């Protein structure tokens, strides 16, 4: 009977992490960007609460767009998005966040707070003119241009523990 109590205690400790898609080691999480060939373009510490954005120039309208994420208890979460215009492919979806003016003719969609499935997604990196970048609004790390390293390639953006640890 004692092993059953230990198992129940272990389940009670781990269950919240399993439900959120997080790992108990979320404090040691890293944001990584790798190519399909496995080349690491970025590996940066991203502990609980850290925010980063994917920034790029819209390919038709040529203005800057931001999709901003955070580590929310080990879960990569799309927190907000900035769009200066309702150009092709952009816009607010009713019921998904809250649209507010940025005071300069554009808008933020705040409070999206949408978990990214499996803490990872694939991005086809644009040319240098598009300049896909990882930017750190709070300055935790230097910004990095993905377009300079992998233009035209698919990359995997992931929050988790690096494979080598």
Residue 17 lies in a domain: no
Q: Is residue 15 part of a domain?
A: no
pLDDT in tens, the chain (165 residues): 343 333 333 333 333 334 444 444 355 899 999 999 999 999 999 999 999 999 999 877 778 899 999 999 999 999 999 987 665 554 545 666 788 888 887 888 899 999 999 999 999 999 999 999 999 998 989 999 999 999 999 999 999 986 654
d(CA 74, CA 28): 9
Q: What pLDDT score does 4 carry?
A: 35
Residues contacting 1, CB < 8 A, separation 6+: none
Q: Is 37 left (phi over 0), alpha (psi -120 to 50) or beta?
A: alpha
* DSSP H helical ranges for the chain: 2-20, 147-150
Q: Identify the pLDDT of residue 87.
A: 56
Q: Assess contact for 96 and 109: CB atoms under 8 A.
A: yes
Q: Which helix (H) or strand (E) holds 76?
A: strand 75-83
Q: Is residue 6 part of a domain?
A: no
Q: How far is CA 46 from CA 1, 53, 130, 139, 153, in A?
A: 41, 12, 25, 12, 24
Structure confidence at residue 104 (pLDDT): 82
The candidate with the shortest Cα–Cα distance to 56, out of 37, 79, 82, is 82
Domains contained in the chain, number: 1
Domain of residue 152 covers 26-160
Does residue 16 belong to any structural domain of this protein? no
12 domain-assigned: no
Q: Does residue 153 belong to any structural domain of this protein?
A: yes
Q: What is the per-residue pLDDT for 20?
A: 43
Domain assignment of residue 102, yes or no: yes
**88 located within any domain:** yes
Predicted TM-score of the model (pTM): 0.76
Question: What pLDDT was estimated at residue 95?
Answer: 66
Q: Yes or no: say if 21 and 118 are a contact pair by the CB < 8 Å rule.
A: yes
What local confidence, expressed as pLDDT, does residue 55 receive? 97
How many other β-carbons are positioned within 10 Å of the β-carbon of residue 58? 18
């Amino acid at each position: 009977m004692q092993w059953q109590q230990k198992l129940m205690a272990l389940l009670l400790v781990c269950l919240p992490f399993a439900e959120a898609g997080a790992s108990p080691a979320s404090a040691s999480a890293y944001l990584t960007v790798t190519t399909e060939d496995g080349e690491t373009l970025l590996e940066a510490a991203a502990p609980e609460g850290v925010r980063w954005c994917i920034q790029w120039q819209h390919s038709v309208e040529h203005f800057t767009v931001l999709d901003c994420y955070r580590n929310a208890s080990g879960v990569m979460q799309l927190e907000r998005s900035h769009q200066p215009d309702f150009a092709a492919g952009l816009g607010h979806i009713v019921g998904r966040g809250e649209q507010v003016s940025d005071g300069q003719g554009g808008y933020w969609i705040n409070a999206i707070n949408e978990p990214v499935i499996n803490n990872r997604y694939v991005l086809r990196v644009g040319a240098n003119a598009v300049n896909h970048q990882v930017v750190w609004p709070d300055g935790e790390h230097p910004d990095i241009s993905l377009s300079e390293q992998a233009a035209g390639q698919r990359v995997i953006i992931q929050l988790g523990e690096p494979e080598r640890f």
